[in-house]
Structure 1
Amino acid sequence: MHFSFLALASSLSLLSLVSAVPQPQATTPPSTVTPPDRYYLKTKVIDGGDKTKDGFYVTSYHTGAGLDDAVLEVTTEHAAKGFLNATYQQFDFNTRDPVSINTGQQTVGFYFNETGLQWDYAEDGFAGWIVCDWWHGLPQLFWKYNFYEYLLPCSCAQVELHPVAV
Structure 2
Amino acid sequence: MQLLATILVSIALLTSASAQFTGLNTSREYNIRTCLKPGQPGKARFDNLWLDDYHTGAGLSDAVFFPTRTNVTAAGYLYPTNQTSAAGQKYYYQAFNLGNPFPWQLVMAFNTNFYAAWQPVRVNAGLGGGDTTGESSGFFLNSTGLQYGGAEGGFDGWLVCNWWHEMPQLFFRITGYGDFTPLSCADVYLMPEYI
> Normalising by the residue count of structure 1, what TM-score does the alignment of the two structures yield?
0.73
Match of 1:38 among 29, 32, 35: 29
Aligned-pair identity (%): 39
Q: What is the number of equivalent residue pairs in this alignment? A: 133
SS in 2 for 1:94: coil
Q: Aligned ranges for residues 75-86 of structure 1 at < 5 Å? A: 75-79=68-72, 80-86=74-80
Deviations 1:36-76 (CA, angstroms, capped at 9, x unpaired): 71000000010323221000000111223333211100112
The root-mean-square deviation of aligned C-alpha atoms, in Å, is 1.9
> Normalising by the residue count of structure 2, what TM-score does the alignment of the two structures yield?
0.63
5+ residue gaps, structure 2, are 1-20, 81-91, 110-133
Partner of residue 12, structure 2: none
* Range that drifts further, 154-163 or 121-130: 121-130
Q: Quick check: which has more Rg, 1 or 2? A: 2
Deviations 1:80-137 (CA, angstroms, capped at 9, x unpaired): 1100112111000011211111224532221111000011235351111000011212
CA distance in 2, matches of 1:140, 1:91: 17
Match of 1:121 among 145, 150, 160: 150
Establish whether residue 162 from structure 1 lines up as the match of residue 168 from structure 2.
no
CA distance in 1, matches of 2:150, 2:176: 13
Deviations 1:11-35 (CA, angstroms, capped at 9, x unpaired): xxxxxxxxxx7xx9xxxxxxxxxxx
5+ residue gaps, structure 1, are 1-20, 25-35
Partner of residue 13, structure 1: none
Q: Aligned ranges for residues 13-92 of structure 1 at < 5 Å? A: 37-49=28-40, 50-79=43-72, 80-86=74-80, 87-92=92-97
Shift of 1:147: 2.1
> Which protein has the bigger helix share?
2
